[in-house]
Amino acid sequence: MKKNIFILTSLVFFTFFSKAQNVGIGEINPTARLTVKPAGGLASSFIVKTFSDDTAMLIRGNYHYFNGFSNIPSSLVVDNKNTLPADVPQLTILASGERSGINSNGSQNILDFKNLNTSNRYTIRGYAGAEENYWYLSHDKDATSKYLLFFKDNGLTGMGTFNPLGKLHITHRNNFANPLLFLYDSTTNGGPIVHMAADGVLRNWQIQGKLDNAGIDQFNISNNTNVLTTVTNTGNYGIGTAMPQYSLHVNKNTSVASYGLFTNNVTGSLSSDGFLVGVNSSGQAILNNQESTKLYLATAGLNRLTISETGNVGIGVDPPTERLDVSGTVKVSGEVNRTATGTSNLVPIAYGNISSGGAINSGSGNISITKLSTGWYQVTITGESYQFQLYTTIVTAAGNVGPISTNTSSGGGNLYVYTYNAAGAAADSQFCFVVYKQ
């Protein structure tokens, strides 16, 4: 009985009642219906315990030590000693009324975190209704454009949007300094990896940004066996290779052909359409216009070579009307042969129009003339060692009043031309010659 009286006396002593019907425990001037104030800095303000003396709920205010030590405990602690069943929540926030306005057949529960000294705040809000259920985290509870995380009951998650259209939907006004997605690998020789796979399937896809101290930085896409695409820090782009050597490097890790196909809505998009370029299975380079159109090679914005759909080739000519149609000067270092004449070279290797005194009136530019004596001329052809048995030579007298005859021979790699008058005596005469090489 004495113990009960002491407890009641102590309770009355430490309990204060105001005229406004407020009750204070440890507080002389309570300003709320119930104000609990601890007796010391380490004391808890309000404790609810179970029958076995375990703490069920603890509410305590912030307190500080100013001698170099600051301790800020939680304002609300929910603590269950025993493990809860899976269907029993540790904390339940219940909204007892219906929400007015949009989706009025549901209710919302709100946790609002804010600082009285600033306008900054974070809000966790949950909505439960007949039409849909969701919860979201926002840094401004009144601005729908400031949703940070939005979770819907259909499994869709939104970041920066309250209407996610996919499993993860991100909306962000990004720039170089604030990217839409930032992946970080804490190792010094590694890189973030995005791995995509399906349950029960051995195939997979990986996207990786490889960064290392050696400066060999890469971005690549691969499947479970091969690297498919690589971009290096030098700007080289590789298809089928992890080490592209040029701005575009296409590799096939087999002996089959490696092609690139270019099509549009005019050509069609089948394997037999468009323009094909690459290397065949024999290692031969291929340029193949698979359409019934011309193939052009151009420089400085002008077509230089044209291959028609019938196979005619034009150089400076479009369209070409012959198998080879050339506009301009043609230089040939080898022979020009015609099938019907076998291996005969149809292009002379030298020609000239020579005066009676041995001067070159005109010629092929690779000859020199020496007049050795009356009616005797030496013709030297640059780069050739002339022998009459190996060359076909035509000599014709020109510009003479009387009849002139000619003859040829060779010696010392030179062509000799002889001219005679009607009596058969040596006589100076103008002549023309053409030399063909067999």
* Three state DSSP letters for 173-242: CCCCCCCCCCCCCCCCCECCEEEEECCCCCCEEEEEEEECCCCCCEEEEEECCCEEEEEECCCCEEECCC
Looking at residues 251-263, what average pLDDT do you find?
91
- What is the band of 289 on the pLDDT scale with cuts at 50, 70, 90? very high
Q: What average pLDDT does the chain have?
A: 80
Q: 278 in a domain, yes or no?
A: no
Q: 432 in a domain, yes or no?
A: yes
Residues 388 and 394: their CA atoms lie apart, in Å, by 11
Looking at residues 313-320, what average pLDDT do you find?
96
Q: 98 in a domain, yes or no?
A: no
CA dihedral 208, 211, 216, 222 (to 10 degrees): -10
Q: 397 in a domain, yes or no?
A: yes
Q: 413 in a domain, yes or no?
A: yes
Q: 9 in a domain, yes or no?
A: no
* 322 and 380 fall within a common domain: no
Given 227, 253, 279, the domain boundary residue is: 253
pLDDT over 70 at 139, yes or no = yes
Share of the chain above pLDDT 70, in %: 73
pLDDT over 80 at 82, yes or no = no
Please give the pLDDT value at position 42: 47
Choose the most confident range, by mean pLDDT, from 135-144, 193-202, 410-419. 410-419
Residues 320 and 306: their CA atoms lie apart, in Å, by 7
Please give the pLDDT value at position 16: 66
- What is the band of 261 on the pLDDT scale with cuts at 50, 70, 90? very high
Q: 345 in a domain, yes or no?
A: no
* 380 and 320 fall within a common domain: no
Residue 27: domain span: 14-78
Residues 35 and 28: their CA atoms lie apart, in Å, by 9
pTM: 0.56
Please give the pLDDT value at position 385: 97
* 377 and 433 fall within a common domain: yes
Residues 373 and 356: their CA atoms lie apart, in Å, by 11
Please give the pLDDT value at position 84: 54
pLDDT over 60 at 105, yes or no = no
Please give the pLDDT value at position 68: 42
Given 61, 78, 95, the domain boundary residue is: 78
- What is the band of 88 on the pLDDT scale with cuts at 50, 70, 90? low
How many distinct structural domains can be found in the chain?
Answer: 5
Q: What is the 3-state secondary structure (H, E, C) of 246-269?
A: CCEEECCCCCCCEEEEECCCCCCC
Q: 271 in a domain, yes or no?
A: no
pLDDT in tens, 351-365: 999 999 999 999 999
